[in-house]
Amino acid sequence: MLNINSLRHEKEKTYLTIMKIVGVSIWLILLFVTFGLIFLWAVPIILTTWIFSLYFKAVIYGDSVKVTSKQYPQIHNIVVEHCDKLNIPNPPDVFIYNGNGLINAAAIKFLSSKYVILMSDLVDLMLERDKLNELSTIIGHELGHHAAGHTNFWKNLLIKPAHIVPFLGSAYSRACELTADRIGLALTNDLQASENALVAIALGCESLANDTNIDEFLLQEKEIPELMGFVHKMFSSHPRMTKRVMQIRHFNKIQNYN
């Protein structure tokens, strides 16, 4: 079983602490100003979330294919094995969704309902190249978001007011992505698969993915204008891919996974 806290990126811990302090402070101010009426907001918030979760379920069950022991068992086995290592007793529902060219995946939670969405083009990019371990890394990354509490409804509600602080929310989001990358690596214990999966997503081209030189890709980071690179980072919910590969390589070296 993996120790999630040992895999958390250091910046995630820092930003989450700041967001909790800011979030709780704002909630307390609102509580004082509204004389306790703020608790009445909880009902419409929870009700709206519940209604939206039902709508999402109608869409996802009707327009995508659920991964089960009888439907794509190879992928299902990866999910079950990862959930066991992450101590997730009730695995999220996993779906393959027609992304119409979008190469991505997502971890989603509504109250108690958990999902992992794998875009079809992402799955093709990995499996058509016979790179099951790369897909395993991506699945581990998304399950990692659930295991690390990134999708927790109540925690996200608590820190929601902190998003008024410029760039704080995006900084926290970037740190969460780095944590999830670490979890994906720890689950597969395969640095090459972790690096290749990230670069393959950046590339998005099945015919060239196996021929990509990772070291050459990382040299692109040196060409990024410092100021504009900083501006791009500040507005992004995800670290740029060159940084993510560098970070996962550095973490692997420290942990000595392989």
- Answer whether 63's CB lies under 8 Å from 97's CB: yes
- Say if residue 163's pLDDT is above 70: yes
Q: Give the per-residue pLDDT at 38.
A: 64
Residue 138 has a pLDDT of 98
Round to whole Å and give the CA distance between 199 and 209. Answer: 8
pLDDT digits (tens, 9 = 90+) for 210-236: 999 999 999 999 999 999 999 999 999
Strand ranges across the sheet with 105-110: 65-66, 93-97, 113-119, 105-110
Task: Give the pLDDT band of residue 20 (cuts 50, 70, 90).
Answer: very high
CB of 180 closer than 8 Å to CB of 148? yes
The domain total for the chain is: 1
* Cα distance between residue 12 and residue 218, in whole Å: 24
User: Residue range 6-24: average pLDDT?
Assistant: 95
Q: Global pTM? A: 0.93
pLDDT of residue 35: 66
Nearest C-alpha neighbor of 18 from the set 147, 161, 150: 161
DSSP string, 79-119: HHHHHHHTT-SSPPEEEEE--TT---EEEEEETTEEEEEEE
pLDDT of residue 258: 59
Q: What is the band of 29 on the pLDDT scale with cuts at 50, 70, 90? A: confident
Query: Given a cut of 70, is residue 40 above it in pLDDT?
Result: no
Which parts of 101-256 fold into alpha helices (H)?
A: 120-127, 132-147, 153-159, 168-188, 191-203, 206-209, 214-218, 226-234, 241-255
**Residue 185: band (very low, low, confident or very high) from pLDDT cuts 50, 70, 90:** very high
Say if residue 7's pLDDT is above 90. yes
In one letter, which amino acid is 158?
L
User: 61-96 pLDDT, tens per residue?
Assistant: 999 999 999 999 999 999 999 999 999 999 999 999
In this structure, the chain runs to a length of 258
Distance of CA 90 to the CA centre of its chain: 18
Q: Which domain holds residue 35?
A: 4-255
pLDDT of residue 159: 95
Cα(255)–Cα(247) distance, integer angstroms: 12
